DNA sequence: CACCATGTTAGGAG
DNA sequence: ACTCCTAACATGGT
């Protein structure tokens, strides 16, 4: 799924595809996609999705926002906020694609929220609350807010494994299972290391590499639609999804372990 | 059928 | 208080 880079691409797509002309239509194809808040649970669906989206029609987008993996737009006195869940993405097309959950239309072809697994969601909130809702319960954005070594040190504490901590949105917003693996590989840090055992130098390397890694992925994806590894696209990552393949740096076979219920990919030789 | 999946979260055990 | 694990959510792919 979408981690911070995919959310940023989606934000730019909204901006590019919808522009700043008024909405002709905002329609929930799957009524349960509209939630009372940005929650992955369908049971948090609003009672009246059409009524929640109706105020958008006739108003024009004025701002496109993102924090961590959440993004959205402001139009009139409302904001539409989106979380792509595990399998969500935006598509612009004249006809409804399979698994389309929501349609937004200004003056071009409709923009569809497509999401096979339905962990994605949208929420319509008052415009003035857009920013606070995007940030609610989350730490600083892993890309946009200058990530200093001191700032990261303050957040990476305790006995938790560093990879688990990096993926904790309340500490730092935007990093998921793939980017955590890639960042720690480039920083040459063992993903199992306890935060409190990290040296200042290791923390400094993570702080420097995190925004660089995320920015590089954004630059690489900006060209087109989000393509997931599981969609049959090529694996562009250094270690993620490469169990048993040679480390690109030292050729040692990449190993896997499980942390927090997720698969971690790492090089046992480079990452110590 | 079994197991896996770029996310989040509640509940329980130590 | 902290940390870890599991199950759930919903769905498709291998």
Which of chain C's bases lie under 7 Å from a protein CB? 2-14
Domain boundaries defined on chain A: 4-135, 149-266
Instruction: Identify the pLDDT of residue A224.
Output: 54
* Residue A3 is a catalytic residue: yes
Residue closest to sugar C1' of C11 by CA: A117
Spacing of A111 CA from C5 C1' in Å? 40
Cβ atoms of A121 and A82 closer than 8 Å: yes
**Quick count: other Cβ atoms within 10 Å of Cβ A104?**
26
Out of 3.40.50.620, 2.60.34.10, 1.10.3430.10, 1.10.8.50, select the CATH number for domain A149-266: 1.10.8.50
In A71-88, which positions are buried (b, 16+ CB within 10 angstroms) versus exposed (e)? bbbbbbebbbbbbbbebb
pLDDT of the residue at A3:
98
- Parts of chain A with a pLDDT under 70: 1, 145, 223-232
Q: Which nt sits closest to A85, CA to C1'?
A: B7
Is A262 one of the annotated active-site residues of the chain? yes
A25 in catalytic set: no
User: Residues A160-194: pLDDT tens digits?
Assistant: 999 999 999 999 999 999 999 999 999 999 999 99
Residue A98 confidence (pLDDT): 97
Q: Do A4-135 and A149-266 have matching folds?
A: no
A260 touches strand C (CB under 7 A): yes
Q: What is the reported pLDDT for A40? A: 85
For A81: left if phi > 0, alpha if psi spans -120 to 50, otherwise beta; the answer is beta
Instruction: Tell me, yes or no, if the pTM score tops 0.85.
Output: yes
- Six token digits for residue A20: 């700043």
Q: Is the CB of A116 under 7 A from strand C?
A: yes
Å between A41 CA and B9 C1'? 9
pLDDT of residue A84: 98
Task: State residue A41's pLDDT score.
Answer: 85
Backbone torsions φ then ψ of A128, nearest 5 degrees:
-70, -15
A140 is catalytic: no
Q: Alpha-carbon distance A105 to A124, whole Å?
A: 16
CATH of region A4-135, choose from 3.20.190.10, 3.40.50.970, 3.30.70.640, 3.50.50.60: 3.20.190.10
């Amino acid at each position: 799924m979408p981690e911070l880079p995919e959310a940023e691409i989606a934000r730019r797509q909204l901006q590019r595809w919808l522009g700043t002309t008024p909405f002709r239509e905002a329609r929930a194809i799957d009524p349960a996609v509209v939630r009372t808040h940005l929650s992955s649970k369908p049971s948090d669906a609003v009672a009246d999705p059409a009524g929640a989206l109706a105020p958008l029609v006739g108003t024009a987008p004025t701002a496109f926002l993102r924090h961590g993996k959440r993004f959205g737009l402001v139009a009139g006195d409302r904001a539409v906020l989106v979380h792509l869940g595990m399998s969500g993405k935006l598509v612009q097309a004249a006809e409804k694609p399979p698994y389309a959950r929501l349609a937004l239309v200004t003056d071009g072809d409709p923009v569809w929220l497509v999401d096979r697994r339905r962990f994605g969601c949208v929420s319509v909130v008052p415009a003035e609350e857009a920013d606070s809702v995007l940030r609610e319960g989350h730490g600083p954005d892993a890309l946009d807010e200058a990530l200093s070594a001191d700032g990261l040190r303050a957040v990476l504490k305790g006995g938790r494994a560093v990879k688990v901590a990096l993926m904790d949105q309340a500490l730092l917003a935007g990093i998921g299972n793939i980017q955590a693996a890639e960042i720690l590989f480039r920083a040459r840090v063992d993903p199992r290391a306890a935060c409190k055992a990290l040296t200042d130098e290791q923390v400094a390397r993570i702080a420097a590499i995190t925004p660089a890694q995320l920015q590089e992925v954004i630059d690489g994806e900006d060209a087109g639609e989000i393509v997931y590894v599981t969609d049959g696209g090529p694996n562009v990552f250094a270690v993620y999804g490469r169990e048993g393949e040679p480390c690109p740096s030292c050729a040692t076979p990449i190993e896997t372990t499980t942390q927090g219920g997720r698969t971690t990919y790492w090089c046992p030789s480079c990452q110590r």
